[in-house]
Amino acid sequence: MTTFLLIRHGLTDAVGHRLTGRLPGLHLNDVGRAQAAGLPDRLTRWKIDAIASSPLERTMETAAPLAERLGLAVQPDIALAEFDFGQWSGMLISELDQRDDWKTFCQYRSGTRAPGGELITEVQTRMATALAGLAARYPDGTIAVFSHADAIKATLVHYLPMPLDNITRLEIFPASISVVRLHAWGPVITAVNLCPELL
User: Would you name the residues annotated as active-site residues?
Assistant: 9, 82
User: What secondary structure letter does DSSP report for 46?
Assistant: S
Contact 88, 96 (CB under 8 A): yes
Q: Which of 183, 123, 181 is CA-nearest to residue 155?
A: 123
